[in-house]
């Protein structure tokens, strides 16, 4: 997606900050706005009002104890990319009076570095290691809003929902695990509002992509090791089988046309299971992965699909039938597409899906590529021409209990509710 800087090209920062302050005050007072916040900011403000968040101080959550912080760091999956993030941002942060922060998927600040003077200002704000900087606690801000919107965000001055952050500007980009698309956290540059610059967002986004590329290279090396270890097993087996890592990436296969990835259950365990691509299968653990053997008997088709969108942080697809229940985490894009198809059981063409997702009917190449990926994962559930759920499957959408937005990602507003 195209990056949107917080400061319009050619705008005077001080004058723009004053205009934002008037818009913010009017939004809180419920009066006619003298202008409109950017779409990403307006959507976040609506979430804050729905939560009843205090615009004066937010909903501060106590910082983690040192031992809890260390545990979070180990569990985050981000320690491996910390050198890449620091190498790309720390020198700039120190020169430009900024600090760099790395947070986990829950918005907890794991590491913070950069300008000493700005760190002292951040201390006074409560922006310290171990604190919760998700939207639900700190209001609209680059970190929390990027975690919800799942794309890079820059926030300037009174775009922050909580008033004590109006003297700040920040730019953050989410970090994803390339193995399964899971949100790992975000990296952020923050500083005094006077230091705002439109290129900061592009820099943070570039460094985040560099960190994800490092994770991808590490994963490919792990997959190659699994291939070398386990491929000889396939030569001794009869029937169809694949060897996959815990995320479903295929290292080797026998009796199949090779595929890049299969959809494994969230919590795979040894024994019999049902997979949407292959039907009834047997899972056997291997060092660093699974041996998946396809059972010979006929499998009954699935009868019920539950699209769980209750959490803004993770969406899940659960499939049930005579062979049992199977669940799989969804990427934000796949959650969006399945939600639209659940709303339109009669089906959607590529151009209609493109309009639903992006507000632009011309992005059919992206739609077809993603639908092809999903149909490889969820064979027997999704049909084409038009794209739709199988007519014999009951589809249930589980929505947020608070009545909030079903998806805070990129689906067009007309299909969000």
341 is a domain residue? yes
Contact 264, 290 (CB under 8 A): yes
Residues 323 and 185 in one domain: no
Residues 177 and 206 in one domain: yes
Contact 195, 186 (CB under 8 A): no
Could you tell me which residues are beta bridge partners of residue 229? none
For position 298, what pLDDT does the model report?
62
Secondary structure (3-state) at 275? strand
2 is a domain residue? no
284 is a domain residue? yes
Lookup result for tokens 């799942």: 150
State the residue range of the domain holding 247.
Answer: 238-294
For position 381, what pLDDT does the model report?
87
For position 15, what pLDDT does the model report?
95
For position 195, what pLDDT does the model report?
94
How far apart are alpha carbons 92 and 101 in whole angstroms?
Answer: 13
Residues 249 and 333 in one domain: no
pTM of the model: 0.84
How far apart are alpha carbons 183 and 229 in whole angstroms?
Answer: 29
Domain count, the chain: 3
Main-chain phi, psi angles of 54, to 5 degrees: -70, 115
Each residue's pLDDT expressed in tens, for the chain with a length of 417 residues: 689 999 998 899 999 999 999 999 999 998 887 888 999 999 999 999 999 999 999 998 899 999 999 999 999 999 999 999 999 999 888 888 999 999 999 999 999 999 999 999 999 999 999 999 999 999 999 999 999 999 999 999 999 999 999 999 999 999 999 998 889 999 999 999 999 999 999 999 999 999 999 999 999 999 999 998 887 888 888 889 999 999 999 999 998 877 888 888 888 889 888 887 787 889 999 999 999 998 876 666 778 999 999 876 788 999 887 767 788 888 888 999 999 999 999 999 999 999 998 888 999 999 999 999 888 878 778 999 999 999 889 999 998 776 566 665 555 544 555
Residues 88 and 136 in one domain: yes
The DSSP call for residue 41 is: H
Residues 205 and 268 in one domain: no
How far apart are alpha carbons 162 and 176 in whole angstroms?
Answer: 27
Q: Which of 184, 217, 250 is the last residue of a domain?
A: 217
Task: Tell me the Ramachandran region of residue 248: left when phi exceeds 0, alpha when psi lies from -120 to 50, beta otherwise.
Answer: left
């Amino acid at each position: 997606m195209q990056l949107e800087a917080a400061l319009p090209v050619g705008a005077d920062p001080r004058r723009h900050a004053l205009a934002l302050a008037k818009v913010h005050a009017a939004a809180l007072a419920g009066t006619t706005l003298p202008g409109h916040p950017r779409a990403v900011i307006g959507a976040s403000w609506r979430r804050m009002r729905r939560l009843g968040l205090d615009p004066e101080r937010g909903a501060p959550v106590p910082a983690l104890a040192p031992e809890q912080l260390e545990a979070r760091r180990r569990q985050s999956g981000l320690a491996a990319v910390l050198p890449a993030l620091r190498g790309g941002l720390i020198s700039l942060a120190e020169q430009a009076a900024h600090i760099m922060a790395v947070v986990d998927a829950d918005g907890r600040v794991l590491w913070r570095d950069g300008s000493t003077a700005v760190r002292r200002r951040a201390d006074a704000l409560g922006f310290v290691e171990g604190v919760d900087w998700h939207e639900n606690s700190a209001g609209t801000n680059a970190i929390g809003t990027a975690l919800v919107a799942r794309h890079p965000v820059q926030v300037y001055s009174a775009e922050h929902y909580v008033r004590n952050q109006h003297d700040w500007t920040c730019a953050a980009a989410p970090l994803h695990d390339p193995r399964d698309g899971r949100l790992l956290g975000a990296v952020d540059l923050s500083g005094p509002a006077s230091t705002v610059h439109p290129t900061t967002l592009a820099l943070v986004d570039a460094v985040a992509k560099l960190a994800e590329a490092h994770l991808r290279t590490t994963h490919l090396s792990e997959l190659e090791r699994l291939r070398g270890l386990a491929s000889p097993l396939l030569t001794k087996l009869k029937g169809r089988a694949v060897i996959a890592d815990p995320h479903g990436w295929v290292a080797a296969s026998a009796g199949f046309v090779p595929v890049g990835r299969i959809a494994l259950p969230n919590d795979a365990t040894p024994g019999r299971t049902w997979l949407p691509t292959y039907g009834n299968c047997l899972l056997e653990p291997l060092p660093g992965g699974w041996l998946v053997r396809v059972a010979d008997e006929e499998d009954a088709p699935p009868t019920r699909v539950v699209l769980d969108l209750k959490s803004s942080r993770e969406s899940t697809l659960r499939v049930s039938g005579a062979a049992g229940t199977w669940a799989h985490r969804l990427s934000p894009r796949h959650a969006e597409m399945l939600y639209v198809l659940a709303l339109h059981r009669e089906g959607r063409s590529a151009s209609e899906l493109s309009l639903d997702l992006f507000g632009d009917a011309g992005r059919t190449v992206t739609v077809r590529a993603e639908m092809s990926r999903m149909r490889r994962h969820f064979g027997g559930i999704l049909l084409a021409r038009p794209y739709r759920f199988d007519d014999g499957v009951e589809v249930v959408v589980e929505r947020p209990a608070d009545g909030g937005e079903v998806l805070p990602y990129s689906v067009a507003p007309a299909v969000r509710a």
